[in-house]
């Protein structure tokens, strides 16, 4: 682990609109939204959002120096501006890995810096291990390795720290179905009853949002739950991927780490992250010789917390000047 940071880094000013954007058809069903900002001749960097259905809003453009980086954001299958919204068919980790490589080729990028948070770290590792020749390095925040233990922790284990939020989460489901909360929620999110569907989606998002911050923000939780466009994709795809064990073999990402272990990696982890717990970040760090792990002691899971923002910007600045993190 690296030494405590002495400088507080802040996000770069907002970029009002991307330099260019478009929609990329990746099969007969799915079309992805993508955009580019910053320096068209700069170091390419792609951001992999969480969720899997959260999407990449404009605020994510602010983590990189636009004079140095060619900043690529996109919404994964079923997320935010990609179509169809919350579509579960043809939506797997393997499909998203293929999409990411198709986007790289579409944009004419040779290699790019892979950055992501939460589920975005899962996808980053899966993509890197499949296409190491396409990667410059990795910046990973809130590591989630996609193991059965991590999924079980999210659904059942977090009640130990967030009993009220978990009680609300399980009380939405009849007691007879609580032995398989993932199936129960997914069934309701796919129901023809629109009111039941949206109630399940909002309940899921409230639970996730309530557990993501070190300091609880009830207004922020309700703001997230009331954003239907984001909530629909996020809740439906969360439940879909979790129910399918993220379409990964158990501990696959650690097993196959040798494919990318020669590349630079910076891991940034909230010390009180209850959604993607520090154990996963530490396991990845131990399995990846040369990786740099930063534990932000006063942070949870959210990328909006000050310490997380500072560590992320520090990492992008380090890579800008060194092409590495150590």
What sign has the CA pseudo-torsion 286, 288, 292, 294?
negative
Q: 46 pairs with which residues across the strands?
A: 72, 114
Nearest to 57 by CA among 304, 311, 318: 304
Per annotation, catalytic residue among 99, 272, 301, 310 = 301
Q: How far apart are CA 29 and CA 239, in angstroms?
A: 20
DSSP 87: -
* CA–CA distance, 231 with 240 (Å, rounded to integer): 14
- DSSP alpha helices (H): ranges in the chain? 93-106, 119-130, 148-155, 163-171, 181-189, 194-210, 218-226, 228-243, 252-255, 278-287, 306-322
118 has catalytic annotation: yes
Tell me: cis bond preceding 102? Omega within 30 of 0 counts: no
- Spot the catalytic one: 238, 273, 302, 310: 273
| DSSP string computed for 182-201 | HHHHHHHHT-S-HHHHHHHH
Q: How far apart are CA 48 and CA 72, in angstroms?
A: 9
Length of the chain measured in residues: 326
On whether the CB atoms of residues 119 and 50 are closer than 8 A, the answer is yes
Q: Is 180 a catalytic residue?
A: no
User: Active-site positions?
Assistant: 118, 273, 301
């Amino acid at each position: 682990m690296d030494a405590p940071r002495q400088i507080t880094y802040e996000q770069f000013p907002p970029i009002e609109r991307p330099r260019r954007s478009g929609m990329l058809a990746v099969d007969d069903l799915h079309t992805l939204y993508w955009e580019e900002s910053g320096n068209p001749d700069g170091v390419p960097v792609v951001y992999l959002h969480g969720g899997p259905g959260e999407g990449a809003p404009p605020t994510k453009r602010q983590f990189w120096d636009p004079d140095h980086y060619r900043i690529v954001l996109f919404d994964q299958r079923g997320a935010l501006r990609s179509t169809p919204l919350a579509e579960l068919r043809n939506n797997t980790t393997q499909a998203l890995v293929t999409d990411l490589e198709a986007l790289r080729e579409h944009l004419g990028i040779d290699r790019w810096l892979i950055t992501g948070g939460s589920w975005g770290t899962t996808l980053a590792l899966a993509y890197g291990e499949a296409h190491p020749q396409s990667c410059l390095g990795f910046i990973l925040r809130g590591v989630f390795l996609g193991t059965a233990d991590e999924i079980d922790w999210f659904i059942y284990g977090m009640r130990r720290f967030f009993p009220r939020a978990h009680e609300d989460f399980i009380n939405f489901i009849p007691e007879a179905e609580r032995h398989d909360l993932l199936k129960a929620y997914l069934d309701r999110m796919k129901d023809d009853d629109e009111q039941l569907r949206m109630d399940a989606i909002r309940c899921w998002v409230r639970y996730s949002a309530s557990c993501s911050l070190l300091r609880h923000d009830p207004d922020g939780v309700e703001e997230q739950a009331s954003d239907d466009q984001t909530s629909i994709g996020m809740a439906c795809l969360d439940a879909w991927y979790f129910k399918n064990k993220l379409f990964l073999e158990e501990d696959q990402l650690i097993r196959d780490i040798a494919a990318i272990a020669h590349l630079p990696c910076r891991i940034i982890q909230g010390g009180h992250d209850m959604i993607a717990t520090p154990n996963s970040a530490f396991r990845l760090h131990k399995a990846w010789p040369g990786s740099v792990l930063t534990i932000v002691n006063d942070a949870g899971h959210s990328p909006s917390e000050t310490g997380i923002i500072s560590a992320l910007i520090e990492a992008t600045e380090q890579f800008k000047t060194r092409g590495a993190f150590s």
